[in-house]
Amino acid sequence: MKKLLFATTAIAMAISGSVPAFAEFNSRTIRVSNGINSDHPVGNGIKAMQQCLDEKSGGKLKLTAFWGGALGGDLQATQALRSGVQEAVVTSSSPLVGIIPALGVFDLPFLFASPDEAYKVLDGKFGDNMNEKLDAAGLINLAYWENGFRNLSNSQRPVTKWEDFSGLKVRVMQNNIFLDTFQNLGANATPMAFGEVYSALETKAIDAQENPYVTIDTSKFFEVQKYITETNHAYTPFLFLFSKPIFNTYTPEEQAALRECAIVGRDVERQVIAELNKKSLEKIKEAGLEVNQLSAEEQVRIREKSMVVYEKHKEQIGADIVDGILAELKTIRAK
């Protein structure tokens, strides 16, 4: 009886107390810039992240997503974060190597062999180490989301062996490692921001581009391409970056909610990619594109030919970083 009385009093005090609900949270609008479109799995991830934020903040933390590069390209948006004029961006790590050279490690060709091993590296100590470097550059990486394994599309010819890359005008991200990987295969590689790719393909300023199937689907590149080759030449992560100058003005509870909910969103996004990959490939085939697989022998040839890129960029990325990730992958693969 005494206990019950005590509990009732405590509840009554809590209700009548002057501390309002979710007092640790302020009403905030968080702009999230995206180069990809809203039907990309990042859209599902952001919805899940918002639901999580609603629960934790009583609806006070609101994400407003912008799609199709409406707030500028990856690099431009990232610089806006660093100077504290925009809250967030979902970007590939690749265009950011000019700011943080160590991130180039993720651009090395044929580094990851499966999404699972990428998750282990990114969500573990190695990923944390990269997050510290991002932090030092004014960027809080809330979580590693997924862009995924990249495949080559083009308007010219079936590409089934490395000699077929010869002279192909391939758009690459603004990144030296991708540039070298494709030059080394004989292609004529051109760095270009993502937002310019569709029209450059349409006007035939370039012949080819490389991105995961879900991007070739949702950014409609299949409309202006004829051939695809499942090259799986790189797995690039998405970073869910937050402006450090803005993050620093948030309460610890707001910061924790953002970090926790970005992980909830990440898991949904990765799951949807796994499901959509196959559907996107079907859609691309139905649109009339010829899809080619590389023979096992050709995969080995292309991979071996690409290994020079590791040595060439090792120093710039940081030898400890390259050796570190290779050692970690070795451990993961031995298990």
Binding site residues, ligand TK8, CB under 6 A: 35-36, 74, 91-92, 147, 173, 194, 211, 215
Q: Cα angle vertex 40, ends 157, 226, to 5°? A: 10
Which lies closer to ligand TK8 via its Cβ, residue 227 or residue 250?
Answer: 227
- Closest CB 144 distance from ligand TK8, rounded Å: 13
Which lies closer to ligand TK8 via its Cβ, residue 57 or residue 91?
Answer: 91
d(CA 148, CA 292): 19
- Closest CB 189 distance from ligand TK8, rounded Å: 13
Closest residue to ligand TK8, judged by C-beta, is: 35
Which lies closer to ligand TK8 via its Cβ, residue 92 or residue 232?
Answer: 92
- Closest CB 173 distance from ligand TK8, rounded Å: 5
Handedness of CA 148, 232, 214, 181 (dihedral sign): positive
- Closest CB 262 distance from ligand TK8, rounded Å: 17
d(CA 281, CA 140): 34
d(CA 7, CA 138): 47
d(CA 264, CA 250): 20
Which lies closer to ligand TK8 via its Cβ, residue 52 or residue 268?
Answer: 268
b (16+ CB within 10 A) / e for 77-92: bbbbbbeeebbbbbbb
Which lies closer to ligand TK8 via its Cβ, residue 57 or residue 215?
Answer: 215
Chain length of the chain: 335
Strands 227-230 and 290-293: parallel
d(CA 199, CA 206): 9
Count of Cβ atoms closer than 10 Å to residue 5 Cβ: 9
Which lies closer to ligand TK8 via its Cβ, residue 140 or residue 173?
Answer: 173
Which lies closer to ligand TK8 via its Cβ, residue 35 or residue 43?
Answer: 35
- Closest CB 6 distance from ligand TK8, rounded Å: 56
- Closest CB 298 distance from ligand TK8, rounded Å: 24
Burial class (CB in 10 A: 0-12, 13-18, 19+), 253: middle
- Closest CB 207 distance from ligand TK8, rounded Å: 16
